[in-house]
Structure 1
Amino acid sequence: MKPILGLATITMCLLTGTASAHAEGELNIYNWGNYTSPDLVKKFEETYSVKVTVTDYDSSDTALAKVRQGGHGFDLVMVSSSSVSVWIKEGLVLETRPDQMENFKNMDPKWVDVPFDSGRHYSIPWQWGTTGVSVNTSLYSGDPNTSAIFLNPPAELVGKINVVPEMNDVMYLAIAYEGGAPCSGDREILKKVRDALTAAKPKWLSMDYGTNDRLAKGDIAGGANFSGSSFRSRLMNDKITYGYPREGFPIWMDNVMVLKDARNVENAKLFQNFMMDPENAAINSSFTRYANAIKGSEKFMPEDMRAAPEVNPPAELLQKGKFLMTCPAEVQEIYTRIWTELMK
């Protein structure tokens, strides 16, 4: 039987908009391409009567530049761990206090006190993974666990290499390959990195995202790649192997934050809470093929993800990984100069 509300309750509900479970209105999401589950969007829309629009970007730098300009119309943005502190420092995002939301209890404790947003006052996890190398073993039978795959490729891979054009990830892989530490400002190391990247680029076919099909079909034989992307290629071609470079590799996490100039703030907060539900987190992971940080989501995910080496790195190899963080401004400036030169 539907309860009858008193006049005071009705008035309060009208003022706060809490009378219905349906939020209604719109939500505009700014995210990487091919990184938002259509089923997840549909479920959110149907649950809350909110029309969701997803706009793609092609790099972290593109997203940051677009939001800095203003007038973008976005409510939510997915930001990599390496640049979350920049967004917070520049006042581009709201302190929405996810740690006080209903579903926060589902977050894996190890992802709460993260260095880029300790206690989770601004962000909730979207997906996490690693950046390593992918190889088509029908074309290359050597050790895949090395960044030499794209920095000093063997003859059979030359001209068939793709490198994801993500500066922080690729710079870290190259720095580790040359014996440097994360955010290294060592000029001798960075000169080696610049020279190695410059010498390697002519041996590459492309620098592109969204190459799952091309890798699976053999148009690309290997290169620097994200773990989940490599996994999706392997599902189409079992000859694809993902390698964790023994020299070192980045661990990253993308995070959901509400923009300071969002037009639909309450719907954006609702989405943050929605994504901390285990079943919803699993819907997205099942699509992207990356891990999430929500406890209990595993039971809702496909069987092939539970033992996938791309999603569950071997412990001995994971020890070589380091969390991607924002480097000091003077170091980041050097990286940007090297990267700009490489992209010419």
Structure 2
Amino acid sequence: MKRLLALTALVTGLLPFIASPGMAEGQLKVYHWFEYIPQELVDKFEAETGIDVTIDTYDSNEAMLASLKAGKLGQYDVAVPGDYMVQIMRGEGLLDSYKPEEMPNFKNIAPEWLDVPFDPGRQHSIPYQWGSTAFSVNRNVYKGDISSLAIIFNPPEELKGKINVLDSQGEVLALGSLYLGIPQCTQDREQLKSLNDMLLAAKANWASFGSDTAKDVLVSGDAAAGMIYNGFSAKARAEGANVEYAFPKEGYVVWMDNMVLLKDAPNRANALKFMNFLLDPQNAAAVTNYAAYNSGVTGVEPFLSDAVRNSPENNPPKGQKGEFIQACDQETQKLYDAIWTNLKK
């Protein structure tokens, strides 16, 4: 009896420590874009749940897909692919599914981002952030018209040799197609040849390929213009670069990044906790305030900073339209892969 009482006392004494949110309750492995979530928000999640979060990063949708297919699937719980990549990953069986009742905050997803073509009914993903991809120009270097994608693909003399281009096949080929006025995922050989030839000619005027450095080269002055995500452009401006983000007349890329539940996630329950956490309006707003994009969650407005709310990069002129990157069928994609490989030689 004394041993039983002693054991009971020991267990009772340990209960506060066992229940403490600071105690580790497992792990979460996140595969994420660079510079895209505030550390303070990760710390908040860890403190609230006791879950240890590890984040590895990538710099393009294609790099993330290749890495998962090369053996990293099963090592991560969640990833953050763009819209078209969600569709590709879903088609290749790389995603797990969930039921809305597994996430109490599922109800906070904005209606326009709920039944999306790349994940109908949101069975595999939640909205993370959305924005646009176009280009920015250093106005100290070039003061002329920046209303056309010609700034990137047929630049004026002042910008030749001073342009950074995203190291992202999807965005480069989509913007190139918009510039030429040809459809994405075309199978027309003449149109594909025109796209290939135009990109090779334009490359002679580019200084670099870089996605994770797209902001930094504008801030440092190593590039005078660059293809860029709108949030990166806003950050460059906030860091003192005299840059202007363009919404070109030919169009621009609109995208939505989404957090997906990966197949064979080693910590599925913790992944769902994290996804639910990010659907809380205050937490979603924290990402928006940090990344300078837009949220797909309702109720974030009271938590947004004035800088983000009034950002010119987040407010395109009326009448200007963007396009999502399309996911091509497998045979057509091979043609675009060949163009990209040729461009990167």
The normalised TM-score by structure 2 is 0.90
| Aligned amino acid, residue 294 of structure 1 | V
Residues matched between the structures, number: 326
Q: Which consecutive residues of structure 1, in runs of 5 or more, have no partner in the other structure?
A: 1-16
Q: Which residue number in structure 2 is paired with residue 195 of structure 1?
A: 197
Q: How does 1:1-344 map to 2 (within 5 A)?
A: 24-71=25-72, 73-98=75-100, 101-210=103-212, 211-237=214-240, 239-317=242-320, 320-344=321-345
Q: Is the 8 A contact 1:163 1:224 kept in 2?
A: yes
Deviation by residue 1:110-154 (Cα, 9 ceiling, x = unmatched): 011110011111100111111101111111112222211110011
SS at 2:257 equivalent = strand
| Aligned amino acid, residue 287 of structure 2 | N
Distance 1:86 1:71 in 2: 17
Q: Provide closer, same or farther for how the CA distance between residues 186 and 248 of structure 1 changes in structure 2, counting only shifts above 3 A.
A: farther
Q: Which consecutive residues of structure 2, in runs of 5 or more, have no partner in the other structure?
A: 1-17
Q: Which residue number in structure 1 is paired with residue 9 of structure 2?
A: none
Q: Provide closer, same or farther for how the CA distance between residues 265 and 188 of structure 1 changes in structure 2, counting only shifts above 3 A.
A: same
Distance 1:227 1:130 in 2: 6
Distance 1:220 1:34 in 2: 20
Q: Which residue number in structure 1 is paired with residue 11 of structure 2?
A: none
Moved more, 197-206 or 231-240: 231-240
Distance 2:235 2:103 in 1: 32
| Aligned amino acid, residue 133 of structure 2 | T
The normalised TM-score by structure 1 is 0.90
Q: Provide closer, same or farther for how the CA distance between residues 69 and 88 of structure 1 changes in structure 2, counting only shifts above 3 A.
A: same
Distance 1:23 1:282 in 2: 26
Distance 1:112 1:74 in 2: 24
Q: Structure 1 residue 20: deviation in Å?
A: 8.0
Deviation by residue 1:136-194 (Cα, 9 ceiling, x = unmatched): 11111122222111100111011110000111111011111111123222222221111
Q: Is the 8 A contact 2:22 2:50 kept in 1?
A: no
| Aligned amino acid, residue 309 of structure 2 | R
Q: Provide closer, same or farther for how the CA distance between residues 198 and 99 of structure 1 changes in structure 2, counting only shifts above 3 A.
A: farther
| Aligned amino acid, residue 80 of structure 1 | G
| Aligned amino acid, residue 337 of structure 1 | A
Q: Is the 8 A contact 1:175 1:190 kept in 2?
A: no
Q: Provide closer, same or farther for how the CA distance between residues 185 and 22 of structure 1 changes in structure 2, counting only shifts above 3 A.
A: farther
Distance 1:330 1:248 in 2: 26
Q: Is the 8 A contact 1:39 1:283 kept in 2?
A: no
- Whichever of the two has the greater Rg, that structure is 2
Q: What is the percentage of aligned positions where both structures have the same residue?
A: 42
Deviation by residue 1:289-328 (Cα, 9 ceiling, x = unmatched): 11111111122121111111212323321xx211223122
| Aligned amino acid, residue 231 of structure 2 | G
SS at 2:254 equivalent = strand
Q: Structure 1 residue 36: deviation in Å?
A: 1.9
Q: Say what the alpha-carbon RMSD is for the aligned residues.
A: 2.0
Q: Which residue number in structure 2 is paired with residue 4 of structure 1?
A: none
Runs of 4+ aligned structure 1 residues displaced above 3 Å come to 17-23
Q: Structure 1 residue 27: deviation in Å?
A: 0.5
Q: Structure 1 residue 245: deviation in Å?
A: 1.7
